[in-house]
Amino acid sequence: MLDSVLAGIAATLRRLGGGTVAAIGWLGYATRFGVAVVLETPAAFARLSLTLREIYFAGVLSLVIILVSGLFVGMVLALQGYDVLQRYGAAESLGVLVALSLVRELGPVVAGLLFASRAGSAITAEIGLMKATEQLSAMEMMAVDPLARVVAPRFWGGVVSMPLLAALFSTLGVFGAYLVGVKLIGIDPGAFWGNMQAGVDFRYDIVNGVIKSVVFGIAVSMIAVFEGYDARPTAEGVSTATTRTVVESSLAILGLDFVLTVFMFRGGA
Amino acid sequence: MSELAAPGSALAPARADHAVELDDVTFGYDQRPVLTGITMRIPRGGVVAIMGGSGCGKTTILRLIGGQLRPQSGRVLVGGESVPDLDRDALYAMRRKLGMLFQFGALFTDMSVYENIAFTLREHTNLPEELIRDLVLMKLHAVGLRGAARLMPAELSGGMARRVALARAIALDPMLVLYDEPFAGLDPISLGVVGQLIRRMSEALGITSLVVTHDVYESLKIVDYLYFVSDGKIIAEGTPADVRASGDAFVRQFVDGEPDGPVPFHYPAPPYQSELFARA
């Protein structure tokens, strides 16, 4: 009886130890991969056309979903914000409410989530399929480093695209709020824009929002290229890697957003 | 009737000018051995085949030669250089003298046929674009696909893709080309074309060719020497004439395509009867 209990405990400890060692090994591998990609930065920018091409694929081709989403998020924010603000006679503050919500939080976060779903998954699938069809191996055998030729340009394409997409998301959001607040509901345009101009601080609000979107861009792009490069070279492996990119990126964005918000916004401009 | 040579015998004797040499190479993943005691020598300019069933370790040998894997023990020499001892720069320098044709071509799907072949030339040379264009067209002409230069890989048949991959593999005029299952999935015409191209490239350009395949019929027509691999070991080797005349049970099963023999038809399993009536 005692022997079987001890054996069970030993087996559990072995599994736990094995799992921990495997997790640390994976973390080490992922870190080494990340460092290697960053070290290939000069290669990515030496072949500027490759990085520009990736900015086109990750950024320009994501424009439709980002712009349309930004417009609707801004319109909904205006409707919801007006509903609350008018109870306290502060409907003229709608502009500043929408602008702060967008540049501080919704712009970087929602644009990041959309970017992870649209561009992150595409990057993972593309690199994963290149691996599954031996294109990466072929490149290695041609004495061309896939990290420099394939991975680094895609990583930097994502990093550059993400803040621009977040800025466009916020801009269209503000425009959507203007359409609903001023054109539909009838708030005075002077109050709408004036309060917004007075209430939004460039350094405190906009720069912090941009920093968030840069951090999210780095996180999503790194997760996307890593999952693609690490994908099992099968149809199922690529599918799993793509799903992991979206899930991990989304969780990373939400977790990082909380951490960054704690450090950036502590209740005073 | 001439018999096949025993593994490691003097049919392909050690010479200083061998393009590739493997000496007592062992490789495995974790505790699972894949190759054990592999010794082979590939003479310069020769066409040599490595044959064996699926999963016997043939492709692993190519990856060891290309430096994508490191042996657990033994020596792997390419052009006299020990591949596992090369640092990254030296390994890449060695790979520039080497071409590889992958099983399904591994063409870059986002590039046209032309761009696929120009890829290595652009990466490794500073040649002007006009000269690259001429070289690409020459390579494509050699494989009969000059007219397909502007097509995308998705528009090619399996045989055409393999020929484009061959043109890409020889773009830098390598001293050694590794072929991983070049005949797999091809129709008889494409198969004959690819086989003859391998032979012609070797003769015309002096390229050493190492062909990993399980296509006996086509291989016997084009190679100078064959190694048979089973369960990660070389179990026989010899010239095509030796193979045709061989009485070795494994070689006969392989050459004649017998379903059962030294390589069993059934995957290891408990006795049939006991499993069928296990519930009784």
- Residue B16: per-residue pLDDT: 53
**Structural domains of chain B ordered from first start:** 45-59+92-257 (3.40.50.300)
- Cβ–Cβ < 8 Å for A238, A129: yes
A8 is a domain residue:
no
Going by DSSP bridges, is the β-strand pair B47-51/B73-78 parallel, antiparallel, or unpaired? unpaired
To the nearest whole Å, the CA of A214 is away from the closest chain B CA by 28
Residues in chain B: 280
A197 is a domain residue:
yes
Q: pLDDT per residue over B175-208, tens digit each?
A: 999 998 888 877 788 788 888 888 888 888 888 9
- Cβ–Cβ < 8 Å for B76, B83: yes
List the single residue in A133, A138, A144 with the smallest CB-CB distance to B100.
A138
Which residue of chain B comes nearest to A149, CA vs CA?
B123
DSSP designation for A147: I
- Mind listing the pLDDT tens digit of every residue in chain A (269 residues)? 788 889 999 999 999 999 999 999 989 999 999 999 999 888 888 888 989 999 999 999 999 999 999 999 999 999 999 999 999 989 889 999 999 999 999 999 999 999 999 999 999 999 999 999 999 999 999 999 999 999 999 999 999 999 999 999 999 999 999 999 999 999 999 999 999 999 999 999 999 999 999 999 999 999 999 999 999 999 999 999 999 999 999 999 999 999 999 998 875 54
A21 is a domain residue:
no
To the nearest whole Å, the CA of B209 is away from the closest chain A CA by 15
A12 is a domain residue:
no
Element (H, E) at B233: strand B233-238
**pLDDT of residue B169 exceeding 80:** yes
**Residue whose structure tokens are 């030729």:** A149
Average of per-residue pLDDT across B154-165: 89
Among A224, A218, A205, A216, which Cα is nearest to A264's? Answer: A205
B245 contact A CB<8A:
no
**pLDDT of residue B280 exceeding 80:** no
Question: What residues in A contact B68, CB-CB < 8 Å?
Answer: 137, 140-141
- Residue B9: per-residue pLDDT: 47
Work out how many domains chain A is built from and give that number: 1
Among A261, A215, A50, A262, which Cα is nearest to A149's? Answer: A50
Residues A128 and A232: their CA atoms lie apart, in Å, by 8
The residue segments making up the domain with residue A242 are: 40-264
To the nearest whole Å, the CA of B267 is away from the closest chain A CA by 24
Residues B11 and B7: their CA atoms lie apart, in Å, by 9
Q: Mark yes or no for CB contact A141/B100 under 8 Å.
A: yes
Going by DSSP bridges, is the β-strand pair B98-101/B176-180 parallel, antiparallel, or unpaired? parallel
Among A153, A154, A146, which Cα is nearest to A119's? Answer: A154
Going by DSSP bridges, is the β-strand pair B47-51/B32-43 parallel, antiparallel, or unpaired? unpaired
- Residue B222: per-residue pLDDT: 87
Question: What residues in A contact B92, CB-CB < 8 Å?
Answer: 143, 145
Is the pTM for the entire model greater than 0.90? Answer: no
DSSP designation for A234: S
A25 is a domain residue:
no
Average of per-residue pLDDT across B228-250: 84
Q: Mark yes or no for CB contact B102/A138 under 8 Å.
A: yes
B217 contact A CB<8A:
no
**Residue whose structure tokens are 């290891």:** B268
Q: Mark yes or no for CB contact A143/B66 under 8 Å.
A: no
- Residue A20: per-residue pLDDT: 94
- Cβ–Cβ < 8 Å for B236, B7: yes
Among B87, B99, B102, B150, which Cα is nearest to B124's? Answer: B99
- Residue A208: per-residue pLDDT: 93
A63 is a domain residue:
yes
ipTM over 0.90: no
Count of Cβ atoms closer than 10 Å to residue A28 Cβ: 10
**pLDDT of residue B4 exceeding 70:** no
